[in-house]
Amino acid sequence: MIRLTSYLAGRWFAGSGRFVSLVDPSTEEVLAEASSEGADFGAALQHAREVGAPALRALSFADRAALLKDLAKILHGHREELLDLAQKNGGNTRGDAKFDVDGAIGTLSAYASFGESLAKRVGDRRFLTDGDMFPLTRSPRFVGQHVWVPRTGVAVHINAFNFPAWGTFEKAAVALLAGIPIISKPATATALLTWRMTQVLVESGRLPEGSFQLVVGSTGDLLSRLGPQDHLAFTGSNATGAQLRATPGFASKSVRVTVEADSLNAAVAGPDVEPGSDLWNTFVRNIVTDMTQKTGQKCTAIRRVFVPEAHADALQEALAEALSGIVIGNPLTDGVTMGPVSTASQLRDALAGIRALSEHATVVCGGADRLDGKGAPAGKGYYVAPTVLRAADAAKAGPVHDLEVFGPVVTILPYDGTADSAAALVALGQGSLVASAVSDDRAWVERFALGAAPFLGRLMLLSSKVADQATAPGLVLPSMIHGGPGRAGGGEELGGERGLLFYMQRTALQGDSAVIGKAFAAKDPAAS
Ligand code: NAP
């Protein structure tokens, strides 16, 4: 039995007291146990602030980019072992495991490239400029210039169970490039992979001392110790996000918080998309991918599908047919194409969620019973069937717009085909991470996009011309922002350089152009 340790203040710490078990969700075999009880979070914060922060701030953007590139290479050197762990502790198929592990490595590499571009623009400077210098009065000598400087505190990262690799390192890549030390806490149930990745990086000796610490288990009094220069970036459920925002001292000290939470993501078909057309097939394929990839446990997965009434039967048939080919079971068994959900509580919640939705929509395939999986012992493992429901009245489908069932579950919601109705229905999700729409009708797309965008962090608009080149809507790209308004948490992560701003302070400098112009004005990219 592996006993997971935390990496705090430069050493591995073994907790005591009550241990939480980590299991293989395919078989329920216990793999490891974890506890952080007894950890000294005051010392961890001091180590980050006094050792990690100055070390990172001393590095130029070019140095930080080189660091990220090396971290990506080091993890890549252990890729096979990491994929195995993702499969074991997450119930991932090989493809799901790659999505997580390669996503982590790819995001570190992408931020290394963003850092290289930044370094070309700003040279050895450790800050960024916002706009140009401009006169503030009639005197051309008295000027203003906005700058972004790295804050001096710590980034606490708390992540959800579904992406122990990508979730940890998409956040870490941004904070490290901004020059901020990290204390990272993965969800305990699937922390085996994050723990091993941290071990690999610590053993490599490439992490600057104090720049990355790991908590496996509870955060104890860590959050209540955060101060005015510190940050919390949280990914998880809306309920936990709300609870953490209310941490005593956060409001009075203005601890910076960003939250990525639940989301009732949508896919919409425009009225011009005929069943059987290439665009229609892309629409169906994206829904099936989002239902089955990671067993539907993706924060960006499509949950609500809006289709014109005339095409609802065709969609129901297409989904039922595509899903009938899915083989559910232990991903280590040949032929299995979808694994279990990751934990016993996810199984309970997903089945209860299907039951709740079925009070307002008809189950057309799948259902709310636990299954036995191929290659798994009878009665063991957290298996759920891919489940499609269909509501009669899209606007009155109650919990379909409100309850995120975090598993392989979607609801078909027929609508009248107008762009305004589609946008209003998307908005019933109260703020989502992403939506996608398929249509070749430009006027429809423009009207829908402007109506729906205020309720979305990201919107994918697919026409026949781009459908076969586009990434899947559920895939988060490091160059595009990730987050969403309202119940999706109101946060923003990634988005290339935009992500760095969460960890920086924008300061308005006012003064003598001879001083500000030389030291702080925006550099002409052509001159650097
Ligand atoms: P969760 O139960 O809210 O837990 C998320 C994280 O918060 C875990 O690391 C958990 O640690 C920690 N946590 C819980 N209570 C805490 C407390 N009082 N103090 C400090 N940390 C605490 O969510 P989950 O079940 O892991 O993930 C599923 C949810 O995440 C879904 O709703 C999904 O939509 C959302 N999600 C969103 C995104 C996004 O980018 N928007 C991405 C992935 C998932 P323990 O594991 O130790 O309890």
Does any domain span residue 17?
no
**Tokens 């290394």 correspond to what residue?**
112
SS3 153: coil
Does any domain span residue 20?
no
Number of H helices, E strands in the chain: 15, 22
| Claim to verify: residue 165 and residue 283 sit in the same structural domain | no
Does any domain span residue 8?
no
Q: Whose CA is nearest to atom 45 of ligand 1?
A: 187
| Claim to verify: residue 421 and residue 510 sit in the same structural domain | no
β-pair type (265-269, 302-308): parallel
| Claim to verify: residue 472 and residue 517 sit in the same structural domain | no
Instruction: Give distance in angstroms: CA of 196 to centre of ligand 1.
Output: 20
Amino acid 523: pLDDT: 72
Amino acid 522: pLDDT: 82
Instruction: Give distance in angstroms: CA of 247 to centre of ligand 1.
Output: 16
Q: Whose CA is nearest to atom 46 of ligand 1?
A: 187
Among candidate residues 170, 260, 492, 493, the one labeled active-site is 260
| Claim to verify: residue 317 and residue 381 sit in the same structural domain | yes
Counting atoms of ligand 1 from 1, which one is nearest the CA of 489?
Answer: 41
Does any domain span residue 127?
yes
Ligand 1 neighbourhood includes 406 CB (under 6 angstroms): yes
Ligand 1 neighbourhood includes 328 CB (under 6 angstroms): no
Helix axes 191-204, 79-90, angle to 10 degrees: 160
Ligand 1 neighbourhood includes 261 CB (under 6 angstroms): yes
Q: What angle do CA 335, 340, 345 make, to 5 degrees?
A: 175
Please report, for the domain that includes residue 149, its CATH number. Answer: 3.40.605.10
Counting atoms of ligand 1 from 1, which one is nearest the CA of 218?
Answer: 47
Ligand 1 neighbourhood includes 187 CB (under 6 angstroms): yes
**Phi, psi of 186, deg, nearest 5:** -75, 160
Does any domain span residue 172?
yes
Please report, for the domain that includes residue 279, its CATH number. Answer: 3.40.309.10
**Phi, psi of 434, deg, nearest 5:** -155, 150
Q: Which amino acid is at 316?
A: Q
**Tokens 């290339």 correspond to what residue?**
496
Question: Which of 33, 158, 216, 263 to probe ligand 1 with, by most ligand atoms within 8 A of CB?
Answer: 158
| Claim to verify: residue 275 and residue 382 sit in the same structural domain | yes
Instruction: Give distance in angstroms: CA of 160 to centre of ligand 1.
Output: 4
| Claim to verify: residue 350 and residue 436 sit in the same structural domain | yes
Instruction: Give distance in angstroms: CA of 236 to centre of ligand 1.
Output: 3
Task: At 359, list the tokens.
Answer: 């009070």
Q: What is the pLDDT along the chain (528 residues), one digit of tens a residue?
A: 899 999 999 999 999 999 999 999 999 999 999 999 999 999 999 999 999 999 999 999 999 999 999 999 999 999 999 999 999 999 999 999 999 999 999 999 999 999 999 999 999 999 999 999 999 999 999 999 999 999 999 999 999 999 999 999 999 999 999 999 999 999 999 999 999 999 999 999 999 999 999 999 999 999 999 999 999 999 999 999 999 999 999 999 999 999 999 999 999 999 999 999 999 999 999 999 999 999 999 999 999 999 999 999 999 999 999 999 999 999 999 999 999 999 999 999 999 999 999 999 999 999 999 999 999 999 999 999 999 999 999 999 989 999 999 999 999 999 999 999 999 999 999 999 999 999 999 999 999 999 999 999 999 999 999 998 999 999 999 999 999 999 999 999 999 999 999 999 999 999 999 999 999 988 755 443
Cα 173 from Cα 475, distance rounded (Å): 18
Amino acid 527: pLDDT: 42
| Claim to verify: residue 91 and residue 134 sit in the same structural domain | yes
Last residue of a domain, one of 457, 478, 499: 478
Instruction: Give distance in angstroms: CA of 295 to centre of ligand 1.
Output: 17
| Claim to verify: residue 176 and residue 300 sit in the same structural domain | no
| Claim to verify: residue 298 and residue 329 sit in the same structural domain | yes
Counting atoms of ligand 1 from 1, which one is nearest the CA of 263?
Answer: 34
Counting atoms of ligand 1 from 1, which one is nearest the CA of 219?
Answer: 20
- The H-or-E segment that residue 33 falls in is strand 30-34
| Claim to verify: residue 342 and residue 240 sit in the same structural domain | no
Q: What angle do CA 243, 249, 255 make, to 5 degrees?
A: 85
Domain that holds residue 518: 40-261+491-527
Does any domain span residue 222?
yes
Amino acid 528: pLDDT: 38
Work out how many domains the chain is built from and give that number. Answer: 2
| Claim to verify: residue 289 and residue 388 sit in the same structural domain | yes
Ligand 1 neighbourhood includes 481 CB (under 6 angstroms): no
Q: Whose CA is nearest to atom 10 of ligand 1?
A: 187
β-pair type (212-214, 481-482): unpaired
Does any domain span residue 193?
yes
Cα 476 from Cα 488, distance rounded (Å): 15
Q: Using an 8 Å Cβ cutoff, are 35 and 170 in contact? A: no
| Claim to verify: residue 255 and residue 274 sit in the same structural domain | no
Ligand 1 neighbourhood includes 235 CB (under 6 angstroms): yes
260 is catalytic: yes
**Phi, psi of 48, deg, nearest 5:** -65, -45
299 is catalytic: yes
Ligand 1 neighbourhood includes 415 CB (under 6 angstroms): no
Does any domain span residue 186?
yes
Ligand 1 neighbourhood includes 195 CB (under 6 angstroms): no
Q: Using an 8 Å Cβ cutoff, are 411 and 303 in contact? A: yes
Instruction: Give distance in angstroms: CA of 278 to centre of ligand 1.
Output: 37
Q: Whose CA is nearest to atom 40 of ligand 1?
A: 260
